[in-house]
């Protein structure tokens, strides 16, 4: 473990001087209000390339570009209230996602927070190049801040979108740990695609999903379940998007989703189903690596 990891828990916040960067800061502040973490505000500086020698960035960070990055970092840190622990890092890397992962590993961070791209009509989150790369390779959860909806205040509830397949138990376990640490309610929610199913078949699928979620939850945290602070629900729709759009959300809520079973080495990897969900979920989303055993 690095020397930096010896102290408090940390979140890496990917920042660029746009609305996307400010969305990431706003969500990170909300998370820090709910748990004792230090924010590592990170700007990734592209490494000098011989292909762009005319615009090369000095290796020591000096020059006009280096000064501009320092100014942007100061502006980012100025957005964070004084009672929240935060510091800034300018890190050189071949790409933004690679740089954020390197900083997260060096700081032993619990998650990486980034802003999603600007919304489009009837779509909440658009996955840009950086987010897409992180969602293929990050070793820690990736927290996506929806455009313009990231200042959510204190965390009030975690909703975990699960399926009855290998990996769901680990996702539920991570959500239980996070809900317990944050002192908030937990909702396990299975989205049921009922198009093409007969009424009795849809009822059978729904019952199985709720029984499965309840069994896993009881194994992970009986106290949450028994105290009424956790529940298992299902929501049906003609397809996954319609089911998700019919879900009720409350202020301060986070959605947890799991990575694809194709994820290697415990890293994040989202499949087609998760990408469809990201287009319609109106709340911040935490994408959890399949083998992750930590918490927010």
Domains of the chain: 7-145 (3.40.50.620), 157-249 (3.40.50.620)
- Residue 60: other Cβ atoms inside 10 A: 7
- Residue 137: other Cβ atoms inside 10 A: 17
Express each pLDDT in 109-127 by its tens digit: 999 999 986 444 334 455 6
Secondary structure class of 242 (helix, strand, coil): helix
Alpha-helical (H) ranges within the chain are 19-34, 63-78, 96-107, 129-137, 168-182, 199-220, 222-226, 240-245, 272-278
Find the length of the chain. 296
Please determine, for residue 188, whether its predicted confidence score (pLDDT) is greater than 80: yes
Express each pLDDT in 63-112 by its tens digit: 688 889 999 999 999 999 999 999 999 999 999 999 999 999 999 999 99
Please determine, for residue 32, whether its predicted confidence score (pLDDT) is greater than 90: yes
Please determine, for residue 208, whether its predicted confidence score (pLDDT) is greater than 90: no
- Residue 5: other Cβ atoms inside 10 A: 14
Please give the Cα distance from 171 to 152 (Å, whole number).
Answer: 23
* 0.95 exceeded by pTM: no
Please give the Cα distance from 282 to 49 (Å, whole number).
Answer: 39
DSSP class of residue 166 equals T
Q: What percent of the chain has pLDDT over 90?
A: 43
Q: Residue 240 contacts by C-beta under 8 Å, 6 or more apart in sequence?
A: 191, 193, 273, 276, 277
Contact 84, 32 (CB under 8 A): yes
Token couple for 134: 């992180």
Name which residue leads in pLDDT, 25 or 271: 25
Q: What percent of the chain has pLDDT over 70?
A: 80
Q: Write down the pLDDT at residue 14.
A: 97
The model's confidence at residue 3, banded by pLDDT at 50, 70 and 90, is very low
């Amino acid at each position: 473990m690095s020397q930096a990891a010896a102290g408090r828990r940390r979140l890496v916040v990917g920042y660029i001087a746009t609305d996307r960067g400010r969305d990431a800061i706003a969500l990170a502040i909300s998370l820090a209000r709910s748990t004792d973490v230090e924010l590592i505000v990170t700007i990734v500086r592209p490494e000098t390339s011989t292909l762009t020698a005319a615009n090369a960035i000095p290796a020591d960070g000096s020059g006009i570009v280096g000064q501009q990055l320092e100014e942007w970092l100061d502006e980012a840190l100025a957005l964070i209230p004084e009672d929240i622990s935060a510091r800034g890092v300018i890190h050189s890397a071949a790409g933004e996602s690679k740089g954020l992962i390197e900083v997260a590993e060096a700081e032993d961070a619990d998650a990486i927070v980034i802003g999603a791209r600007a919304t489009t009509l009837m779509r909440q989150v658009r996955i840009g190049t950086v987010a897409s790369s992180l969602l293929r390779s990050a070793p820690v959860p990736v927290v996506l801040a929806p455009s313009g909806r990231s200042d959510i205040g204190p965390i009030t509830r975690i909703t975990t979108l699960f399926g009855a397949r290998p990996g769901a138990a680990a996702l539920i376990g991570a959500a239980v740990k996070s809900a317990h640490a944050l002192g908030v309610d937990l909702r396990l929610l299975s989205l049921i695609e009922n198009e093409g199913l007969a009424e009795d078949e849809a009822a059978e699928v729904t019952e199985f999903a709720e029984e499965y979620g309840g069994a896993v939850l009881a194994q992970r945290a009986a106290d949450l379940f028994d105290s009424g602070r956790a529940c298992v629900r299902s929501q049906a729709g003609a397809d996954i998007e319609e089911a998700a759009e019919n879900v009720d959300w409350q202020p301060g809520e986070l959605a947890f989703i799991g990575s694809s079973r194709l994820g290697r080495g415990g890293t994040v990897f989202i499949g087609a189903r998760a990408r469809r969900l990201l287009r319609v979920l109106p709340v911040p989303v935490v994408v959890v690596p399949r083998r992750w055993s930590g918490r927010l």
